[in-house]
Amino acid sequence: MNKGLIISLEGLSNSGKTKLCKNVVRALKAEGYKIKPMIELTSPPGKVLEECFRKKIPMSPVVKALLFAADRIFLLDSYARLFLDNGGIIMTDRYTYTTYIYRMEERLEDEWLKTIEKFAPEPDLVLFIDITPEESLSRAISINKPTPYTLEFLTKIRKRYLDYVKRGEMTRVNGMIAYDYLQMEITNTIKRFIKKIEKIYGISYFKDNLFI
């Protein structure tokens, strides 16, 4: 386990992961937790990937997997590792499970995907924001956002996520409830998890000294 914590949000496209990540971090920071968001596709490799998506440039599953991994490692190395080493909490709007689930559905081998993601530390808590595939596509249409995914593909992706939930590797959160309640549920789930870790590693271990 890292000295700090990595908390990851996972889910279908348009499940609100990025907005939730930023808002939950803001709420926990206000309570004194030493926490920062790590937002996907904000590094130089990530910007390349984002531009390809925006311009609808075709990419093979291998290229997508490598660029997503490069984005993640760049952010970890340049932004997150020192913070983690100093007992901070990094919350991400997607992490390694996204690569495993989406790219495995595109027929890439599990072992190869784990190899390219081996430099990313395992997340300590993974929350699956569960919305229906129909809701994912509906939200994309409502904001005029292009999506490369079909209903059939997203249905298979959701099933893969739920398989991880059944195996105990993720905690499911109902993403179909009103946004304010969803944000509150995620915030409280994280606080309960932190409290459990604090019991093992010391009271207020993850809070800024100012608030102790």
Q: List pLDDT tens digits, range 165-174.
A: 999 999 999 9
The pLDDT tens digits for 73-115 are 999 999 999 999 888 999 999 999 999 999 999 999 999 999 9
Q: Confidence band (pLDDT; 50, 70, 90) for 198? A: confident
Helix (H) or strand (E) holding 126: strand 125-130
Give me the architecture of the 5-211 domain, per CATH. Answer: 3-Layer(aba) Sandwich (3.40)
Q: At residue 131, does pLDDT exceed 70?
A: yes
Write down the pLDDT at residue 2.
54
Q: At residue 210, does pLDDT exceed 80?
A: no
Q: At residue 1, does pLDDT exceed 80?
A: no
Helix (H) or strand (E) holding 201: helix 179-201
Q: At residue 209, does pLDDT exceed 80?
A: no
Mean pLDDT of 185-208: 83
Mean pLDDT of 59-74: 96
Write down the pLDDT at residue 211.
39
* Arithmetic mean of pLDDT over the chain: 92
Residue bearing the bigger pLDDT, 207 or 7: 7
Q: At residue 212, does pLDDT exceed 50?
A: no
Write down the pLDDT at residue 144.
87
Spatial neighbors of 160 by CB under 8 A, at least 6 apart, are 101, 104, 105
Q: Report how far residue 126's alpha carbon sits from residue 169's, in angstroms, rounded to the nearest whole number.
A: 7
Specify the amino acid at residue 156.
K
